[in-house]
Amino acid sequence: MKENIHPQYYEDAVLKCACGETFVTGSTKKELHVEICSKCHPFFTGKQKLVDTGGRVEKFKKKFGIEDAE
């Protein structure tokens, strides 16, 4: 194998989430910033939020003639 081609591996890399949670993990970067982690991800928390960007749901319902069953 070639010498000196692999990046340095940090055993104590810090991962910071947008929710404020921090983890220590191993990585080739000393510090990582993420938007979502296991503490705030809907799959792990059981809280799912639907985001309707630009009225896409209403546009779909109007296009296919679907009415709400509320």
**26-68: per-residue pLDDT in tens?**
999 999 999 888 888 777 677 766 565 667 778 888 888 887 6
Domains for the chain: give ranges and CATH numbers: 10-64 (4.10.80.400)
Question: From residue 23, how far is each of 4, 13, 47 by CA, in Å?
Answer: 29, 8, 22
Question: How many Cα atoms sit within 13 Å of 68 on the Cβ side?
Answer: 3
Q: What is the dihedral of CA 7, 13, 16, 22, to 10 degrees?
A: 160
Contact indicator for 8, 30 with CB cutoff of 8 Å: no
pLDDT in tens, 2-21: 888 999 999 999 999 988 89
Residue 53, pLDDT score: 64
Phi, psi of 56 (to 5 degrees): -65, -35
Query: What's the pTM value of the predicted model, to 2 decimals?
Result: 0.53
